[in-house]
Structure formats: structure tokens, C-alpha cells
Structure 1
């Protein structure tokens, strides 16, 4: 193709930028809290070349790792491509060589056998190392000081799984990282690998099991006792891929499942609990034990939130009509035949953020993104084609909500959380806001906006930002991000 398609995957905040840049001393309005010392890393999909197919999607774009670096009240910004095998092959050829999303049968023959992952979903920090991850392959290690790509990470050759999740969970007390990879044994396999790495980043356990059907398992959760795998009926099919079709198709008539096992146990102890049909959740907030009860809090929707996955399954439902809620699933593990008991916790939304100290434990509050009915039409862009325009803080015990809106037509990205050393303080949230350059909605042009990084008191989100970092640039939509303190950066395994 000679130009980028003018679809939702390439307009608005999905407009290709393709810039590797460094900007020092960004303008700051307000006062940056002294506790914000370190770096906010963001995973930003951005295609380096025009795609092979008109119906390409944002999730198929090359991964870029972006960084807001906070140092003594100053803020610098850097962004670089993750130099995956795929990126380097296309850079050499000066054109796209990889075809449809997660379908190797549509690739140029010259790249047969080349690692297809774009490492564009989540920056993960563990064991003194930074990884860029996407669930269709292994992570790539990034130098956190230079943003240079060190290479694929396989735990010194110990990891057998061909894939690594974009959503591992780290226990705040032990420092262990619990993770998984689906399609671990190859394309469309039922194999799921469940792994544990110790606080120093050494692989201590890897076990494999089979899921009920080949589903996309984007996220999972841990508690003090259990590892929990929520599985929803968005399925892969090898014959469909061989015919040049999509990797994923949602099946509205199939049941969902919960796989639950002791987190230090054997996969042979896995219990499979049937859930409601047709539902979908890409992100879970948290899970925790309450005696024999296990509570799992999910951003749940009645069908798949991604249009291309619904369409492949023959589901014709407009994005704005999809119903959902922040939902709690409770399971009584003392029962011989455990069932899922469901109740809503809060309004629909996604991209939740939990304080790291609350991971796998009883918690009082969390944050997630939603839609503000008074905010006007959403800015086009983001992974599903329409951005969020509100940040919510929810108290999960009583349902109390606080809302922070953004300017009309603006978009908000998933926040990162920075803890506070002050007792009783909720800490701080960092979130990129994309603001249209024209205040009149009728005259706004998709892609014509400027991005700012807002710093928000996490316990008082309704008051808005305490500081704004102005980039002067339109930044392409991120998927996920993570905060790394200066102390951790100074102790990183890779140094500048």
C-alpha cells in the first residue's frame, strides 16, 4: 500500500507518527510532587511502514517504548522502536513483510520463520529488568536508561513457552512474578504455560496445561492461595488462518470458564468452573481470598469489545451499544461443585489500575477509565477505535465513585500509579491526555491534537491534575504503561 488506510486504526490518536525523538526539559504547569522520581514507561503501537492490507488494525503495529523521565523536578521525553526481529526485517526491506494480525500464512515468503511479535502491549519491570511484551511471543528486554533493545528474553534459555503474557502479576511481599503464556506450544495450540520467577528474575517454575478451547487469555489474577485464569469465548482456528482469515472470532453462544489452582500447586489440581456464555473481559482489577471465598473483580462486557473480533464471529453490534460493568465474581471453594456468583460493582469501563501493594489482597479502592456522558463524542483512536474520556476512582466496598473528566473531545490513557510514603495518602496517578487543538467540536480534525501528561492526586481525582507536563506533540495512543522508581532504575541490571 502507498498510504495508510483511513480507518479507525489509523486516524485520531491512532494516526501514525513514526518518530524516534528525545525532548529535554518539557514545560511544566504546576508543581511536580517530590515523590515522583523515576520513569513512566509506555507501550505505543506505531506502524513503521504502511500495512500490506487495508483492514489492518492498531494492535498489529510495531511496538515503541516511550518514557517520561522525572528527575529533580525536570521531565524529559523519549520514544524508540522496539527492535524486534520483525521490525529489523521490515526496516531492512523498507516495506511491510508481515500480513494480517497474528496470521503467518499471510506473510511475505521471505520472512517465514521470523519472530512475528511486535512487543507493543505492556512494559513490565521485574528483577531489575524492563521488558516490552505482547502475548503472541516472548518479551524483549529494553535498556531502561537508553531505550535500546537488548534482545528477546527467555530466562537464560530456561523458558519453554513460546509466548509470555502482557499481564503478569507481582506479589508485593515476596517480589515473585506470576505469569503465563497461551498458545505456548505453537499457533492455535491449547497449551498454556504457567510460570513463576523469583524476586531476582530467575525462573523457578513452569508447568503446562490445556485450556477448554483456544481462547485469547489476555490477563489473569492471583490471590494469596490461588492462580486464576479467566477464559472467554474468543477463539482461534488454524483452518481459518490457513485460508487467510482472522486469528480471533468471538462466539456468543459459548460459555466462559474460570480455571483456578493453588498458586504454588500443580496444574493437575486445576478446577474448571463454567461461567456465563458470550461475555468477555480483557482486564481484571484484582482478586483476593476471604476464607473459602475467592473474589475476582473484572471489567466485564456482554460481548467482545473489539469490533474486528465481533465481526469475525458474525456479531453485528455497534460499539456504543455494548453493555457492561465493573463486576465481581465470587466462588466458594469449599463447595464440591463451585459456582460463579456475580454482582456489579461499578459503571462500565476498562484499563484498571491497582496500587502494587494491593495485588492479590483485600483492597479498598482502584481506578479505571470510563465514559463521561457530558464529555461529548469520544476522540477516535485507541485499541478499540474509540477513546475513553473519564477517570474513575471506585471504593469497592461501598461503590462510592469519583470522576475526573477531560476537555471536550479529549482522550485519556490508562494511568500509572506512583505510591506515596505519606501514611494514608493514595499516591499519584500519571496519565496522558490528548486534547484537540480546536475547542469547537464541529471544527475538530481527527489527529489534530496535543498531548499532555497529567499528574493527579490518586485520592482526589475529582479535583483534576496538580501538574501538567506539556509535550507540544501529538502522541499516538498507548496500550499500557508502568511506573519505575529512581531507586529501582539505579539498581537495574542494564546500565547506560
Structure 2
């Protein structure tokens, strides 16, 4: 194609920006807390070239690593492309060479065998290193000070899996990182590789097992005892790919499963518990042990939230008709035949955030994005599903208390990050990007908006921002982000 399609994947906050830049001393309204000193890294998919196919999707865009740097109350902004093998091949050719989302059979023959990952989903910080990840390949290491791409990361040749999740879990107490790769042995394989890296970044173990069917395992969770793999019936099929079709197609009639194994265990110890049919989840909030019980909190919907995955499976439902809730699944591991007990915790939503110290442990609050049930204007177009979230929720799962922060009507919210406060009695801070239309909500050009970084008190989000960082730009939608403190940046392995 010579131009970008005018579909939902290329307008609104999905409008291609295609600009690498650095801007110093952004305008700040309000006062930035002293603890907000470090870097907020963001994964931003943004096409370097017009796609090969009209029906291309936002998740297929090249990865960009974006950063807000905080230094003594001043804020700088940077963004660069992740120079993957795929990006470099297309840069040289000056056109798209890779075809449909995660389908190598639709690529230009000149790039056969070239790594297809776009590394566009999650920035991950562990053991003094920064990685950009997408679950269809290995991560790419990034220089955290310059945003230059260093190269693919495979633990000095020790990692055997061909893939690395976009959602590793880091135990703040031990410093270990727990991760996995699915389709670890190749396209459409049942292989899952579960890995553990120690606090110094060394690969300590890699355990392989088969999942019940080849599904999209986007996220997983840990507890102090277990590694937990929830899987849902969004399925890959090799013959469909060879015919030029979609990698993923949701099956409404197949059951979900939860695979549970000791977190330092082996494949022989995994137990598969069958769950409800047709449901879907991309992100889990957390999990924790309570004696023999395992509690798993997840952003659950009654079908797949992505229209292109639903429609490939023959499911045609409007986005607003999808039902869901923040849901707790409880499993009694003392039973010979464990069952899932389910109860709703809060409204539907996604992109949850947890304080790092609560990972894998009982927790008293979390944050996630949702849609205001009584909006004061239409939602902003963009994001992976075509409509952005317009409300931030704080939930206390123990008592069900929920508070909400709603921005200016018609605005869009990106996933927040949590920053710890120095005062142990203070709940810390949340940072998130807010996109606000430059005209009346729902009117005019949907790609005309301004992006700001808001800072909130994490336990009092309903009060709104205590500070705003004004970029003067329209930033493309991020997927996930991570906060890295000044102390961690100063101790980075790459200088």
C-alpha cells in the first residue's frame, strides 16, 4: 500500500506519528513529588511504513520505546524505534515487507527467515537491564540512557525458547523474574517454556510443557508457592496461517483452563483445572496463596475483546455488547479434582496495575482502566480495540471499595505506573498519559488531540492530578509501561 488505511487501527490515537525525537524541559503545571525521580518507559506501536494489507491492525505496528525522564522536577521526553531485524529490513527497503499479524506465510519472499517480532508491547526492567518485549519473539535489550537498541536477549545463549512473554512477573522480595514463552518451539506448537532468572539476571531454570491447545497466553501470575498459567480458547491453526488467514481465532465453545505448578517445580507437577467455556482474559491483576486456596484476580470477559480475533472465529458481536468484570477465581489445591469458584470484584476493565511489593501476595488495592458508565461525551477512538478507556479505577478487593478518576470528557487514558513514596504511610503516586481532544468530544478530526502526563496520589485518584506534564504533542497509544527509579537507573548494567 502507498498510504495508511483509514480504519480504526490508523486513526484517533492510532494515527501513525513515525517521529523519533527528544524534547527537553517540558512544561509542568503543578509540583512534581520528590520521589518521582527516574524514568517512565512506554511501549508505543507505530508503523514506520504503510502496511501491506488494508485490514492490518495496530498490534502489528513497529515498536517504539518512549521515555519521560524526571530529574529534580524537570521532565524530558524521548522516543525511538526499536531496531529489530524486521524494522531494519523494512528501513533498508523503504517499504513494508512483513504481512499479516503473526503470519509469516504472507511476507515478501525476501525476508523469509528474518525475525518477525516488532518488540512493541512491554518495557521490562530486570537486574539492571531494560528490554522491549512482544510474545512472538525474544526481547530486545535497550540502552536505558539513550534508547538505542543493543540487540536480542537470550541470556548469553542459555535460553532455548524462541519466544518471551510480554508479561514477566518479578518478586520484589527475592528479585527473581519469572517468565514464559508460548509457541516456544515454533509456530503453532503446544510448547510452553517457563523460566526463572535470578536477581542478578542469570537464567536459573527453563521448564517445558504442553498446553491443552495452542492458545494466546498473553499473561500469567505467580504466588509464593505457584506459577499459574490461565489459558483461554483463542486458538492458532497452522493450516489457516498457510492459507493466508488469521493467527488467532476465538472458539466460544471450548473451555478455558488454569495450569498450576509449584513455582520452583517441574512439568510433571502441573495440574490443569478446567474453567468456563468461551471466556477470555488478556491481563491478570495478581494471585496469592491462602492456605490450600489460590486466589486469582483477572480482567475477564465473556468472549474475546478484540474484534479481529472474534470475527476470525465467526463471532460477530458489537464491542459494547461484550460483558465482563474484574473477577476472582478461587481454587482449593487440596482437592483431588479442584474446581474454580468465581465471584465478581468490580466493573469490567483492563490494564491493571499493582504495587511492585504486592506481586504474588495478598494485596489491599490495585488500579485499572475502565469505561465510565455515565460518560459526558463519546469515547476517543484508538487503542488496540478501537475505543480508548476513559476512567481510572482504584479497587480494594478485600472490602469492595471502588473510587474513580474521570478526565476531561472525551479523553483517553493509558495504563498507569506506580511510584513508591518515601513515607511508608503514603500510598505513592500514579503516572499515566491522558489524551484530550482539541475540540468538542466526538466532533472534528479524531486524530487532533493533545497528550499530557498526569501525576496522581495513588490512594486518592478521585482528587485528580497534582501535576501535569504538557508535551505539546499528540502521542500515539501506548500498550504497557514501567517505572524505573533513579537509583536503579544509576546502577544499570549499560551506562
For the aligned pair, the TM-score class normalised by the smaller chain equals over 0.9
Residue of structure 2 equivalent to 1:374: 374
Q: Is 1:251–1:313's contact at 8 Å kept on the other side of the alignment? A: yes
Kept in 1: contact 2:98–2:116 (CA 8 A): yes
Runs of 4+ in 1 over 6 A off after TM superposition: none
For residue 420 of structure 1, report the CA deviation from its aligned partner: 1.1
Unaligned runs of 5+ in 2: none
| In 2: Cα distance, 1:333 partner to 1:444 partner | 55
1:373 is displaced (CA, Å) by 2.5
Measured after TM superposition, the shift of residue 443 of structure 1 is 2.8
**What corresponds to 1:11 in structure 2?**
11
Using the TM superposition, give the Cα deviation of residue 409 of structure 1 relative to its aligned residue in structure 2, in angstroms: 1.1
Cα distance in 1, alignment partners of residues 49 and 422 from structure 2:
45
In structure 2, what is the equivalent of residue 409 of structure 1? 410
* Residue matched to 1:169: 169
Instruction: Encode CA deviations 1:358-413: one digit per residue, 9 max, x unaligned.
Output: 00000000000001133322111011111000000000011101100011111000
Which digits, 9 at most, give the CA deviation of each residue in 1:457-485, with x for residues without a partner?
00100000000000000000000000000
Residue 291 of structure 1 aligns with which residue? 291
SS at match of 2:462: helix
3-state SS of the aligned residue for 1:241? helix
Q: 1:442 to 1:150 in 2, by over 3 A?
A: closer
Mapping for residues 452-471 of structure 1, pairs under 5 Å = 452-471=452-471
1:283 aligned counterpart, secondary structure:
strand
Matches within 5 A, 1:11-160: 11-160=11-160
Q: Which residue of 2 aligns with 1:398?
A: 399
Partner of 2:433: 432
Structure-2 separation of matches of 1:368 and 1:178: 22
Secondary structure of the residue aligned to 2:89 is helix
Q: Report the equivalent of 1:309.
A: 309
2:390 corresponds to 1:420:
no
CA-CA distance at 1:444 after TM superposition: 3.2
The equivalent residue for 1:363 is 363
User: Counterparts of 2:441 and 2:473 in 1: how far apart (Å)?
Assistant: 20
Q: Deviations over 1:28-56 (max 9, x none)?
A: 00000000000000000000000000000
Give distance in 2, aligned partners of 1:171 and 1:220. 13
- Matched with 2:385 is 384
Aligned to 1:2: 2
Taking structure 1 as reference, are residues 278 and 210 closer, same or farther at Cα in structure 2, changes over 3 Å only? same
- Output the TM-score relative to the length of structure 1: 0.99
* 2:488 matches 1:477: no
Contact 2:10 2:16 in 1 (8 A): yes
Match of 2:244 in 1: 244
Contact 1:10 1:16 in 2 (8 A): yes
- 1:414-440, CA deviations, whole angstroms, 9 ceiling, x for partnerless residues? 0011011212211100000000001x2
SS in 2 for 1:49: coil
Q: Which residue in 2 is equivalent to 1:492?
A: 492
Give 1:216's aligned residue.
216
Q: Secondary structure at the match of 1:331?
A: strand
SS of the aligned residue for 1:186 comes to coil
Deviation string 1:298-345 (CA, Å, 9 cap, x unpaired) is 000000000000000000110011000000000000101100000000
- Quote the Cα distance in structure 2 between the aligned partners of 1:216 and 1:105: 19
CA contact (8 A) 1:103 1:247 kept: yes
Q: Which deviates the most, 93-102 or 421-430?
A: 421-430
Please give the alpha-carbon distance, in whole angstroms, between the structure 2 residues aligned to 1:463 and 1:156: 47
**Contact residue 436 and residue 444 of structure 1 kept, 8 A:** no
Q: TM-score, normalised by structure 2?
A: 0.99
d(CA) in 2 for partners of 1:307 and 1:103?
Answer: 18
CA distance in 1, matches of 2:55, 2:150: 32
- Once residues 408 and 392 of structure 1 are traced to their aligned partners in structure 2, the CA distance between those partners, rounded to angstroms, is 16
1:206 is displaced (CA, Å) by 0.2
The RMSD of aligned alpha carbons is: 0.6
Q: Secondary structure at the match of 2:308?
A: helix
Is the 2:62–2:118 contact (alpha carbons within 8 Å) kept by the matching residues of 1?
A: yes
SS at match of 1:286: strand
